[in-house]
Amino acid sequence: MAKSITGRFAPSPSGRMHLGNAFSCLLAWLSARSAGGRIILRHEDLDPRRCRREYALQLEEDLLWLGLDWDEGGSAGGERYFQSSRRDIYEFYLEKLREKGLLYPCFCSRADLHAASAPHASDGSLIYSGACRNLSPEQRQARSRQRAPALRLKVPDEEIVFSDGVYGKYRVNLCRDCGDFILRRSDGVHAYQLAVAADDGLMGVTQVVRGRDLLSSTPWQLYLQRELGFPAPEYFHVPLLVGAGGRRLSKRDGDLDLGALRASGISPCRVTGRLAFLAGLTDREEALSPEELLPLFDWSRVKKEDIRVK
C-alpha cells in the first residue's frame, strides 16, 4: 500500500501573504489532498526582527479564504506551531549534533565572511571558507572573550543525490558546493535549516512542496535529517512567481498581496483558478476553487520556468 502523504505549509509570518506564497501553498495542498493526504501548518517565525503573531493569524485567515485548509497546527482548536516557541527542541537536536562532534563555534563577522575568498554556490550564496573549523581550544577561548560565536555544522566531503519531483535529479558535493553552515546565529536565534529539518522530521512530514529558491537548501536539510535520525521526505520545488526584471515576488509587491487582492473584490476562486493556470494545470484561466482543481492536479503538468506576473 502506498504510504500516506503528510504535506505542510511552512510560511514565514513576516508580512501579508503574496501571490507567490499562495501559489506554493495551493500546490502543496493539491498534491497532498489529491492523494488523500494530510496537511500541517507551521509558522516559521524564528527571526524576531521580521516576524509577528498578527501576520501569522492573518495568514491563516488568508489561507482559509482561498479554500486551503489544514489538519494540524491550529485548525479545529489544536495547538498552533510557532517555531519561536520550539527553541528547546532545537537546542536538544543541537546537543545531539554536538555529541557527534559535528558542531564548532564560528567567530567570523559578516565582513570576514565576505572577505574570505570562498567561491559562491550556484545560487550566489557564499560557501564558508572553514576559517573557524580547526581553531585550537585556546584560540576558541581567546576569541569567545571578544565576540559570541555562531554554531556551525561540519559537512563531510560527500555527494548528496536526490530526485526533485519537478526539477529532477540533483547532485551536489556537500563540501565543495554547500559548505559548513550555521545552525545557531551569534545572537542565539536558531537557523532555518536546523528548525526545518527537525520539525519536518518530528512532525512526520513526508512531502515538502515549496519555492525553487529553496532547492539549494535541500542537500543541507537531507544531511541534517540523516544525522538526526529522521527519514527523508520527498521534495517538489515549484517555480517562482516573478515581477518586472525577473525579480522574485516579495513582501514589497504589495499590489499582489492578499490584502490588496481581497480589497479589489476578486473572488477566491478567481485567485486559485489563476494560480492553477499559471502553474500549467489548466489550459485557460477560469475561476476554480482548490476543491474543483483536485481532479485536474498532476505534477507532470507543473511548469519549471519561473512565471512572470507583472
Which residue intervals of the chain are DSSP H helices? 19-34, 53-66, 87-99, 110-115, 137-144, 192-202, 218-228, 258-263, 268-279, 290-293
Site for ligand GLU in 54-93 (CB under 6 A): none
Among 6, 12, 31, 207, binds ligand GLU (CB under 6 A): 12
Please work out the total of residues on this chain that contact ligand GLU, with binding judged by CB under 6 A.
Answer: 7
* In the complex, least distance from residue 46 CB atom to ligand GLU, rounded to whole angstroms: 9
54 vs 157, beta carbon nearer ligand GLU:
54
218: contact with ligand GLU by CB under 6 A: no
153 vs 269, beta carbon nearer ligand GLU:
153
**Residue 170 contacts residue 161 (beta carbons within 8 Å):** yes
Q: Which range, of 7-15, 63-71, 164-172, 237-245, touches ligand GLU by CB under 6 A?
A: 7-15
What does the alpha-carbon distance between residue 241 and residue 249 come to, in Å, rounded to a whole number?
6
Binding mask 168-207 for ligand GLU (x = CB under 6 A): ----------------------------x-----------
214: contact with ligand GLU by CB under 6 A: yes
What does the alpha-carbon distance between residue 270 and residue 276 come to, in Å, rounded to a whole number?
10
28: contact with ligand GLU by CB under 6 A: no
Q: Which range, of 5-13, 244-252, 282-290, 293-301, touches ligand GLU by CB under 6 A?
A: 5-13
12 vs 84, beta carbon nearer ligand GLU:
12
Residue 32's Cβ-count burial label (10 Å; 0-12, 13-18, 19+) is buried
Among 44, 62, 180, 306, binds ligand GLU (CB under 6 A): 44
Among 152, 184, 210, 274, binds ligand GLU (CB under 6 A): 210
* In the complex, least distance from residue 287 CB atom to ligand GLU, rounded to whole angstroms: 27
Pick from 99, 103, 30: which is nearest to 272 by CA? 30
* In the complex, least distance from residue 54 CB atom to ligand GLU, rounded to whole angstroms: 17
Among 5, 6, 11, 199, binds ligand GLU (CB under 6 A): 11
Cβ neighbours of residue 17 under 8 Å, at least 6 residues apart? Answer: 11, 58, 59, 62, 63, 257, 258
Three cell numbers, residue 92? 536538544
Q: Which range, of 10-18, 119-127, 157-165, 238-246, touches ligand GLU by CB under 6 A?
A: 10-18
17 vs 108, beta carbon nearer ligand GLU:
17
Q: Which range, of 4-12, 53-61, 242-250, 271-279, touches ligand GLU by CB under 6 A?
A: 4-12
Cβ neighbours of residue 97 under 8 Å, at least 6 residues apart? Answer: 103, 153, 183, 227, 228
Pick from 235, 81, 77, 99: which is nearest to 163 by CA? 235
Q: Give the number of other CB atoms < 10 A from CB of residue 252.
A: 12
Among 10, 160, 172, 258, binds ligand GLU (CB under 6 A): 10
**Residue 9 contacts residue 41 (beta carbons within 8 Å):** yes
Query: What's the distance, Cα to Cα, between the start and end of the chain in Å?
Result: 44
Residues at the site binding ligand GLU, with contacts judged by CB under 6 A: 10-12, 44, 196, 210, 214
